A and B are shown apart, each in its own frame.
Chain A
Amino acid sequence: MSRILVSYATLGYPKEREYLEFIDGCIREGSDILEIGVPPKYAKYDGPVIRRSYKQVSTWLKDIWPLLKETRNRVKIPIIILTYLEDWLPILDDFLSNLSKIGIDGILFPDLLIDYVDEYEKYVKIIRDHGLKAVIFTAPSVPDPMIQKVSKISDIFLYYGVRPTTGVPIPVSVDSLITRIRILVNNKLVVGFGLSDVEDMRKALRAGADGIAIGTAYIEAIEKGGVQDAINLVKYFRGVLNEF
């Protein structure tokens, strides 16, 4: 079975037309799963590039639902929403119901195990009760026994962010990090957070990752050269994954 490419897009970035073009390109060039970032008030664990994209989108996107619906209609592959639990807590039921109604597959809250570690099981249940899949975000700072435990209950795959933030190339030993947690994870393992360097990517895959998640690199490509450049990157990353 080939490795999984999870492609990330910030909802509506940079503008509606280009966003949809990019989504189409992601699918065409072989993404397996789409991860859509819904701009939060405070992107606590995101780096400067993704934060810029949120800011840009927030200037014009006032209602997320029509565009989320449109995204769902164009795309057959699974869609996972990435957003912060903190922002949605006051209206969590409505939010999850709406996602479920329009046919979104799952949700990933990067702050779940960090800021709500004592209640994560409760929130996983709430997510599932709404008919959504709960994709759990982990990081190197999650203790071994906890990785083992949550890896089993994470739906679709377990997400593992190797850096403390997205899109800042902090020097980390990708191979030893993944070798360490591969033996703990009894599930599909998708690695992300600053994984745009193809050597890092290969290291991750060699060390046993089932897939990679890419976000910042696409946004940077869009910033610099436009949507087509980002789509070319999807194709390029697909090629790297296909080496394995």
Chain B
Amino acid sequence: MAIEREEILPKYWYNIIPDLPKPLPPPRDPPEAEFSRIDLLRKIMPKEVLRQQFTVERFIKIPEEVREAYLNIGRPTPLMRAKRLEEMLNTPAKIYFKFEGATPTGSHKINTALPQAYFARAEGVNHVVTETGAGQWGTAVALAARMYNMESTIFMVKVSYEQKPQRRTVMELYGGKVYASPTNLTEYGKKVLAENPSHPGSLGVAMSEAIEYALANNYRYLVGSVLDVAILHQSVIGQEAMKQMDILGDEPDILIGCVGGGSNFGGFAFPFLGAKRGEKFIAVGSYEIPKFSQGDYMYDFPDSAGLLPMVKMITLGKDYVPPPIYAGGLRYHGAAPSLSLLIRQGMIEWREYSEPEIFEAAKLFAEAQGIVPAPESAHAIKAVIDEALKAKKNNEKKVIVFNLSGHGLLDLPNYELMMKRLSK
């Protein structure tokens, strides 16, 4: 068994940049920049992570130590057939899902937290910093830091900090220091608090605090999504899934994933796209945060405070304030540059679903497969159901594969609230 696992786990990360149909517009500094954000990256990101962010090698070797860590957290994650779901939908389509919720932190985020922490440690860093909204990314960073004997500080959006005490507990169990952002630990946090002492916090504020804190202490900042390097590391998902499909002797027709910043979708779908496997790719966002339907394709900041370099992406604008929806991980104003380009080139389709639709899909999936999906991942499930029903209507034996980016066992308060809202 162990040997088989090692064979499924890839030895290289896959980078889609050289396989894009058009040049990927590079990050850039704003017109009248008082300081260079691109230069700032050198101070906050581990050197090797930054090199990988700007590389164009198609395949990048995964360090042996990182492969070991991947095995240690239970990679490869299972690729499972959703047989009961097929039966309940009475569809001729076959449905498979890659279960990233099977990792210790419950989502795909650990796939990039591990190598980033490893590269930070390798250059002698002993402390990493990040922000977290709903808590998935912060949890992954706290564990990855601990695995390489580093300290971690996590700026958690204040409302989540208060509403999601379990997430905080997990991070603290791993040895992470968790602060409700805005804090008094940074100049930016102080400024925000001075203007509004009861500020609820936001991802943008937390991100700015994390970056400032890392800079001030010469720690390193780990990036959870959006940037190319996060998608690169997530490519283990898609590459494993390709091998697992081979073992099963099946070929995918339709590939589906949800999109916050784009890292789990890209990590899952890009290896298939690059290998020219699959005929239809569907990226799913939230109806309440309508970046695909209403966003512009333009240069914008990844973070609300504008500390990171501008990138060209589909975006609602960095100042867009997302409504406090059920799926915290999708509350992001933009989509990764490579994903945005592929959507604009028509190579990837998109869908947007609303709360009642995704709640129904999540419930159906839980009843069918016994797994409570993360609300983010339930967006992918809704698209899967739609495609499976379409296959039924057309009597087509489509093979649908989707990425179940996380489980929802720490999102139960969200589900409770959803049930209350929707039963009214």
Query: Which residues of A line the B interface, CB within 8 A?
Result: 41-42, 44-45, 47-48, 51, 113-115, 117, 138-144, 146, 163-165, 168-173, 176-177, 180
Contact = CB atoms under 8 A, between A and B. Distances in A.
Contacts of A171: 47-48, 50-51
B57 interface: yes
A170 B53 CA distance: 10
A40 to B, nearest CB: 10
Given A45-B26, A113-B23, A170 B50 contact: yes
A169 B47 CA distance: 11
Contact of A117 (B23, B27, B42): B23
Given A139-B23, A143-B21, A164-B38, 15 more contacts: A45-B26, A47-B29, A47-B36, A47-B39, A141-B17, A141-B24, A143-B20, A164-B27, A164-B28, A164-B54, A168-B42, A170-B38, A170-B41, A171-B48, A171-B50
Contact of B57 (A115, A146, A176): A176
Given A164-B54, A172-B51, A143 B18 contact: yes
Given A168-B38, A168-B39, A143 B22 contact: yes
Interface of B: 17-29, 31, 33, 35-36, 38-39, 41-42, 47-48, 50-51, 54-57
B306 to A, nearest CB: 16
Contacts of B56: 140-141, 177, 180
A44 B28 CA distance: 6
Nearest to A47: B36
B23 A146 contact: yes
A164 B26 contact: yes
Contacts of B25: 114-115, 141
Nearest to B20: A143
A28 B178 CA distance: 61
Nearest to A118: B22
A173 B55 contact: yes
A94 B361 CA distance: 60
A114 B310 CA distance: 14
Given A45-B28, A172-B54, A143 B23 contact: yes
A224 to B, nearest CB: 18
B23 A141 contact: yes
Contact of A173 (B21, B23, B24, B51): B51
Contacts of A138: 23
Contact of A165 (B24, B28, B31): B28
Contacts, number: 85
Counting from the closest, the 5 A-B pairs by CB-CB distance are A140-B56, A164-B26, A141-B24, A171-B51, A48-B36
- Give the interface centre of B22, B27, B41, B57 by most chain A CB atoms within 10 Å: B22
Nearest to B25: A114
Nearest to A163: B54
Contacts of A168: 36, 38-39, 42
Contact of A114 (B21, B23, B38, B39): B23
A41 B376 CA distance: 42
Contacts of B29: 47-48, 51, 165
Contacts of B50: 170-171
B31 A42 contact: yes
Nearest to B49: A171
A144 B22 CA distance: 10
A170 B52 CA distance: 10
Contacts of B23: 113-114, 117, 138-139, 141-143, 146
Contacts of B38: 47, 164-165, 168, 170
A144 B18 contact: yes
16 contacts: A41-B31, A48-B35, A139-B23, A140-B54, A143-B18, A143-B23, A164-B27, A165-B27, A165-B29, A168-B39, A170-B42, A171-B47, A171-B48, A172-B51, A173-B57, A177-B55
A242 to B, nearest CB: 30
B42 A169 contact: yes
A165 B309 CA distance: 11
Given A172-B54, A173-B51, A139 B26 contact: yes
Nearest to A170: B54
B58 to A, nearest CB: 9
Nearest to B338: A141
A198 B48 CA distance: 21
Of B20, B25, B33, B35, chain A has the most CB atoms within 10 Å of the CB of B25
A176 B51 CA distance: 12
Nearest to A144: B18
Contacts of A140: 17, 54-56
A114 B51 contact: no
A142 B18 CA distance: 7
B282 to A, nearest CB: 24
A172 B31 CA distance: 25
Contacts of A177: 55-56
Contacts of A165: 26-29, 36, 38
A163 B25 CA distance: 12
B227 to A, nearest CB: 12
A130 B250 CA distance: 57
A146 B20 CA distance: 10
A62 B284 CA distance: 51
Interface core residue of A113, A114, A115, A141 (most chain B CB under 10 Å): A141
Contacts of A115: 25
Which of B24, B27, B38, B56 counts the most A-chain CB atoms under 10 A from its CB? B56
B26 A114 contact: yes
A144 B58 CA distance: 11
